[in-house]
Chain A
């Protein structure tokens, strides 16, 4: 096994603009109240970002399952659920003791 090698994260501005846009537009804290204006749905950028999403043409050329993305996410959810179940198993008996 090779040791000592590691990847360094990049924040180079011209490489990561799409990451900044994605995060600032689709993520971050949102607040719900009457006195708040919250749009974050700038049409032009929204459309272009959506166009960039899920370019899976080559995959589809190979005729892969259409819901591929969803299937993979389901695996992640499954793993997560297992994890949570494990954590709950640990927590519950402790609570009962108290």
Chain B
């Protein structure tokens, strides 16, 4: 039997938007929960009713499903309200009257929420990941750089023992050149990309699709600048040895605080 010791309930929060009435979204939430809005003083929270405990599971597929549903609700809310402040996964407000707690919280945090809404209004978040092919870049460098070119020529004539020694030298010179180039390219791309962004975040490099990532950015872009932004990325994507992964639009997860 289920314990009824605690009268606490929870409201799972998806996102915040500007509106002033209760709206129902139907059963589109996590585990098909009924999603609706709680209004308070010109702001609404998109929520579903849940127990006063966090969603947690050892089943990875289940968690992925939850997160996809979390994202989906935010997208639906975004279609309706245009501008939303997305919450992180698994944020739940609890209380004996949880809906009231949510309304109180909206009231208490109004200034901060308004500031976030204003910041992301009319803009979209995109992910930009630039990878490079070290093999191509390395080969290019060894043809361009005199020092490396000379060493390569030397190995061709050298006896085996000496050739090994020279190869180590090549490796060392290459790593130096690659490091230098990485810094240069990072700066160059970063500045080119930043021109088109309202705001930009440098994220940790990750491995996606087995490529060597040079930079990982989250970009907040005004809707009417997205096309120009795509053109800028296309230029980088066409450079030999470089490739750009361009994803979005996302709810502005990276630009709310």
Are the CB atoms of B134 and A53 closer together than 8 Å?
A: no
**Contact between A9 and B64, CB atoms less than 8 A apart:** no
- B65 → A minimal CB distance (Å): 11
- B246 at interface by CB-CB < 8 Å: yes
Within 8 A of A (CB), among B49-77: 52-60, 63-64, 67-68, 70-71
How many residues on chain A are close to B (CB under 8 Å)?
Answer: 57
Q: Are A24 and B253 in contact, CB atoms less than 8 angstroms apart?
A: yes
B204 is contacted by which of A6, A40, A43, A69 (Cβ under 8 Å)? A69
User: From residue A71, how far is it (CB to closest CB) to chain B in Å?
Assistant: 7
B223 touches A (CB below 8 Å): no
B56 close to A42 (CB less than 8 A): yes
B122: interface (CB < 8 Å) = no
Q: Given A9-B126, A31-B109, do A75 and B93 touch, yes or no (CB 8 Å)?
A: no
Instruction: Establish whether residues A62 and B174, one from each chain, have CB atoms under 8 Å apart when the complex forms.
Output: yes
- Asked if A71 meets B183 with Cβ closer than 8 Å, knowing A8-B230, A9-B126, A44-B63, the reply is yes
- In the complex the two chains form, what is the Cα distance from A22 to B233 in whole Å? 22
- Is A84 close to B, CB under 8 A? no
Residues of A within 8 A of B158 (CB): none
A51 nearest CB neighbor, chain B only: B207
Contact of B186 among A45, A62, A64, A75 (CB under 8 A): A75
With A35-B93, A35-B95, A75-B187 given, is the CB distance from A7 to B175 under 8 Å?
no
Within 8 A of B (CB), among A39-98: 39-40, 42-45, 48, 52-56, 58-59, 62-65, 68-69, 71-73, 75-77, 79
B172 in the interface, Cβ–Cβ < 8 Å?
A: yes
A20-B68, A56-B205, A71-B183 known; A38-B244 Cβ under 8 A: no
Known: A27-B88, A29-B256. A63 touches B172 (CB 8 A): yes
Residues of B contacting A: mostly: mixed
> In this assembly, does B47 line the interface, its C-beta being within 8 Å of a C-beta of chain A?
no
The answer for the CA separation of A25 and B95 in the assembled complex, in Å, is 24
Query: How far is A11 from B187 in the complex, measured between Cα atoms in Å?
Result: 27
User: B183 touching A5 by the CB < 8 A rule?
Assistant: no
B residues 82-96 touching A (CB-CB < 8 Å): 85-95
Cross-chain contact of A42 among B57, B178, B233 (Cβ < 8 A)? B57
B10 contacts partner chain A, Cβ-Cβ < 8 Å? yes
Q: Besides A20-B67, A28-B86, A59-B134, 16 other CB < 8 A contacts?
A: A5-B234, A15-B247, A23-B71, A24-B88, A25-B67, A27-B88, A28-B91, A28-B253, A29-B256, A29-B257, A30-B87, A31-B109, A40-B89, A40-B91, A63-B172, A75-B190
21 A–B contacts from the bound complex (CB under 8 Å): A2-B235, A2-B238, A6-B233, A6-B234, A7-B230, A7-B234, A7-B237, A22-B206, A24-B89, A25-B67, A28-B89, A33-B105, A35-B105, A38-B91, A42-B89, A44-B63, A53-B206, A54-B207, A72-B183, A76-B186, A79-B194
The 10 A-B residue pairs whose C-beta atoms are closest, nearest first, are A55-B207, A6-B230, A28-B88, A27-B253, A39-B54, A62-B175, A23-B253, A76-B202, A24-B89, A6-B231
